[in-house]
């Protein structure tokens, strides 16, 4: 990732162009989503297909990146502080996207299923995933030396990635009401489905760009935070040293 | 590794046998949870009997949090953790020993809770082999995951509040699978459920948590 030009800013030509692309694709997704026709079964709410699957996808991408960065930190040959920063930043964004997945799912579920929440397999899995990664973020906030924090967080992230598929099996067998995977259900021969599939794929792209834009900024903020912490330690040491020189 | 595991597990169990924290605090807590469920779910309407398997395993999970915190606490006082680290014991062995000791305590607790469920919730005991296999597999998984997350959360001032947040979502599949397998054994499920699949899932969970702990415990111990 490029160094920000200004030490107090996290913006750079890369983030500007990324941000612009994210904004444009998000705008196009909203426009296309709103132009979709209302369907017989789900009415106006079918338009959420432009947003909901994309948001869910972005949460999976986030946690995937967290796992990959954690593995790179744990592997001695690739160990570097930036992987820890990347893992933490990606998990934070992933939690936001998971919460958005649950929120948009509930908004869709209320008129379609008649309730805000059902104990369906994938809803339950998302809620468990949210709890797992909230725990991961809480672990990251525990005051520890940077190396210890990175090591514990990396182990927790890999453990979380191992647990998600197990949770998936358990809740899947437990009960399944949720429709099948969105892509597997659509019949490409149908014009109506074609519009929906386009909106959904555009949503995937927009959310991925938003994720990437947020990620670059968040990693840079984390790096600045670390620098401030180091600088304040140096300042404090200097002050104590000065006191010692003044004292009789 | 196995010799070290027996040493560490034996040490933890001896500490528990002498201090009686598990017997005097954790077991009564678990029984209390069973009684509280009865208050919450209206004991007279058969709800308790139908929900007995799930309530049993929820009580076990809550107690497991306490047992793991206790297992961590004995290492954090007056430098015993450092002594353990300097002892030259295999970290994988230490993990297996500590997880094994927690598992033994939980199994004893489950026997007591099982009797409690039969007496208090009017459950007709049945399917003993399935129940025993469920108990062993689920307990191994919970004890291994608990010991691992206990090590992750250890050493900080917030470890007591952090552990449940980390551990409970991770053992949610154990709760689901153990509940369904127990229901199949007891015949209390509304739907016909086969215990075999759930037992297999419990086995996979136990293997994953134990394997993860064996690999990850060494690096986690180094830095503490």
What residues of B are in contact with residue A147 (Cβ under 8 Å)?
A: 223
Contact B166 A138 (CB under 8 A): yes
pLDDT for res A4? 45
| Residues of chain A contacting residue B173, judged by C-beta atoms under 8 Å apart | 163, 166-167, 169-171
Residue of A nearest to B194 (CA): A173
- In tens, the pLDDT along B157-200 reads 788 889 999 999 989 889 988 998 898 888 777 666 677 888 98
B148 in A contact zone (CB under 8 Å): yes
Rounded-to-integer distance, Cα B122 and Cα B196, Å = 25
CB atoms within 10 A of CB A1: 13
pLDDT value of position B190: 65
pLDDT, tens digit, for every residue of B50-98? 888 999 999 999 999 999 988 888 877 767 777 777 777 888 888 999 9
User: Which pLDDT band, with edges at 50, 70 and 90, does A175 fall under?
Assistant: low
- List CB contacts (< 8 A) between B172 and chain A: 128, 167, 170
- Under the banding of pLDDT at 50, 70 and 90, the label for residue A176 is low
The neighbouring-strand residues paired with A43 are A39
Which residue among B162, B173, B176 places its CB closest to the CB of A139?
Answer: B162
Q: What is the mean pLDDT of residues A103-123?
A: 81
Closest in B156, B212, B219 to A144, CB measured: B156
Name the more confident of A185 and A37: A37
Most confident stretch, A35-44, A129-138, A229-238: A129-138
Q: Per-residue pLDDT for A136 more than 80? A: yes
- Please give, rounded to a whole number of angstroms, the shortest distance from the CA of B177 to a CA of chain A: 7
Residue B127 backbone class (left: φ over 0; alpha: ψ -120 to 50; beta: rest): left
Question: Rounded CA gap, A155 and A135, in Å?
Answer: 13
* CB-based contact, B176 to chain A, within 8 Å: yes
Q: Residue A188's pLDDT is what?
A: 46
* Cβ of residue B165 closer than 8 Å to a chain A Cβ: yes
Supply the pLDDT for residue B188: 76
- How much is the ipTM here? 0.85
Residues of chain A in contact with residue B216, where contact means CB-CB under 8 angstroms, are 155, 158-159
Q: What is the pLDDT of residues B6-54, one digit of tens each?
A: 888 888 888 888 887 777 888 889 999 989 988 888 777 788 888 889 9
Residue pairs between chains A and B whose CB atoms are closer than 8 Å: 83
Q: What is the pLDDT of residue B57?
A: 94
B180 to chain A, closest Cα gap in Å = 8
Measured between beta carbons, the chain B residues lying within 8 angstroms of A158 are: 212, 216
Task: Name the percent of chain B lying above pLDDT 90.
Answer: 33
Q: Please give the angle made by the CA atoms of B1, B7 and B11, to the nearest 5 degrees.
A: 145
Geometric angle at alpha carbon A132, from A126 and A137, rounded to 5°: 120
Which residue in the block uniquely carries the two structure tokens 């437990």? A174
Cβ–Cβ contact A79 with B under 8 A:
no
Contact A170 B197 (CB under 8 A): no
Are A139 and B173 a contacting pair at CB < 8 A?
A: no
- Rounded to the nearest integer, the mean pLDDT of chain A is 83
CB B112, CB B33: distance < 8 Å: no
A2-45 pLDDT, tens per residue? 444 456 678 888 889 999 999 999 999 988 888 877 776 666 77
* pLDDT at position A180 over 70: no
B215 touches chain A (CB under 8 A): no
């Amino acid at each position: 990732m490029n160094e920000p030009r200004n030490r107090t800013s996290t913006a750079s030509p890369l983030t500007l162009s990324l941000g612009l692309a994210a904004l444009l694709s998000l705008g196009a997704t909203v426009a296309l989503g709103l132009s979709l026709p209302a369907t017989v079964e789900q009415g106006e709410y079918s338009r959420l297909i432009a947003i909901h699957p994309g948001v869910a996808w972005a949460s999976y991408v986030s946690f995937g990146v967290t796992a990959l960065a954690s593995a790179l930190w744990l592997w001695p040959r690739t160990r570097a502080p930036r992987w820890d920063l990347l893992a933490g930043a990606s998990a934070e964004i992933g939690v936001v996207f998971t919460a958005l997945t649950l929120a948009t799912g509930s908004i869709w579920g209320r008129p379609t299923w008649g309730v805000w929440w059902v104990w369906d397999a994938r809803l339950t899995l998302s809620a468990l995933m949210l709890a797992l990664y909230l725990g991961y973020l809480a672990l990251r906030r525990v005051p520890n030396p940077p190396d210890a924090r990175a090591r514990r967080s990396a182990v927790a992230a890999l453990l979380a990635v191992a647990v998600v598929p197990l949770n998936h099996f358990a809740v899947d067998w437990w009960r399944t009401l949720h429709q099948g995977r969105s892509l597997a259900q659509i019949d490409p021969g149908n014009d109506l489905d074609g519009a929906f599939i386009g909106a959904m794929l555009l949503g995937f792209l927009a959310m991925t760009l938003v994720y990437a834009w947020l990620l670059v900024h968040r990693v840079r903020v984390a790096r600045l935070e670390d620098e401030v912490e180091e600088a304040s330690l140096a300042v404090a040491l200097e002050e104590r040293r000065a006191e010692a020189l003044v004292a009789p | 590794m196995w010799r070290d595991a027996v040493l560490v597990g034996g040490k933890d169990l001896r500490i528990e046998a002498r201090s009686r924290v598990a017997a005097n605090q954790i077991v009564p807590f678990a029984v209390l949870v069973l009684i509280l469920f009865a208050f919450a779910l209206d004991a007279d309407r058969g709800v308790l009997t139908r929900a007995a398997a799930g309530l049993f395993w929820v009580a076990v999970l809550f107690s497991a949090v306490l047992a793991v915190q206790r297992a961590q606490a004995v290492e954090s006082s007056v430098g015993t953790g450092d002594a353990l680290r300097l002892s030259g014991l295999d970290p994988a062995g230490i993990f297996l020993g500590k997880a094994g000791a927690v598992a033994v305590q939980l199994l004893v607790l489950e026997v007591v809770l099982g009797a409690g469920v039969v007496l208090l919730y009017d459950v007709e005991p049945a399917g003993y082999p399935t129940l025993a296999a469920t108990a062993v597999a689920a307990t191994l998984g919970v004890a291994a995951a608990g010991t691992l997350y206990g090590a992750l959360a250890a050493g900080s001032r917030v470890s007591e509040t952090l552990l449940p947040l980390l551990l409970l979502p991770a053992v949610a599949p154990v709760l689901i699978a153990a509940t369904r397998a127990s229901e199949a054994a007891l015949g209390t499920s509304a739907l016909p459920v086969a215990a075999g699949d759930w037992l297999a899932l419990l086995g996979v969970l136990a293997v994953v948590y134990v394997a993860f702990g064996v690999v990850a415990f060494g690096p986690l111990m180094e830095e503490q």
